[in-house]
Amino acid sequence: MVNFKWDQKRALEVAKEDGVAIGEARGEARGEARGKLLGERNAMMKVALSLLKKGLPVGVITESTNLSLEEVRKIAKDNGLAF
């Protein structure tokens, strides 16, 4: 027969440690996903700037980059390009 004594304090400590570990893992996953999205967005903004400099029509740029017209306008303005 196994001799077992319930230790509520230790059980709560273990539960807390497990909860913290789960929270950290979730936070890291969300951070990585957000970082990836921001990286992709920054890349599309660079592509849009390059296309603006080449004089491509704004409609082509918005379709190619999935950026809004307002975003493309801002990129042009921030870089001193006529729109």
Q: In the chain, what's the furthest Cα-to-Cα distance?
A: 84
Provide the whole-model pTM. 0.64
- Quick one: angle between helices 8-53 and 58-65, nearest 10? 150
Q: Average the pLDDT over 9-18 and give the result.
A: 92
pLDDT digits (tens, 9 = 90+) for 28-78: 999 998 898 889 999 999 999 999 999 999 999 999 999 999 999 999 999
What separation in angstroms does the CA of 69 have from each of 2, 45, 49, 51, 80? 71, 12, 13, 14, 16
pLDDT at 2: 73
pLDDT at position 20 over 90: yes
